[in-house]
């Protein structure tokens, strides 16, 4: 579990639970949720918060590979 927290800032289970919670709002376009995570990563890069940016990018990749729907 420590590795997951280093990768995502939380566990994989927590990332997926977060998606499940907001899924009704992104029903037709789940890609928008991933895009919003990537936007958060961009903001972190602007703020020179590189570790947090990396974690946001990893969350986006996890959701892409899990084929959220």
Examine the pLDDT at 13 and tell me if it is beyond 90. Answer: yes
> What's the confidence (pLDDT) of residue 43?
98
Q: What token pair was written down for 58?
A: 């990893």
Examine the pLDDT at 69 and tell me if it is beyond 90. Answer: no
pLDDT digit string, tens, across residues 14-32: 999 999 999 999 888 989 9
30 Cβ neighbours under 8 A, 6+ residues apart = 23, 68, 69
pTM of the full structure: 0.88
Nearest to residue 37, comparing CAs of 24, 50, 55? 55
Examine the pLDDT at 48 and tell me if it is beyond 60. Answer: yes
Q: What token pair was written down for 2?
A: 């420590």
């Amino acid at each position: 579990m420590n590795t997951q927290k280093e990768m995502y800032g939380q566990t994989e289970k927590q990332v997926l639970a977060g998606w499940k919670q907001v899924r009704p709002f992104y029903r037709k376009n789940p890609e928008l949720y991933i895009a919003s995570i990537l936007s958060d990563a961009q903001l972190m890069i602007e703020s020179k918060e590189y570790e947090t940016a990396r974690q946001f990018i990893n969350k986006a990749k996890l959701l892409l590979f899990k084929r959220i729907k």
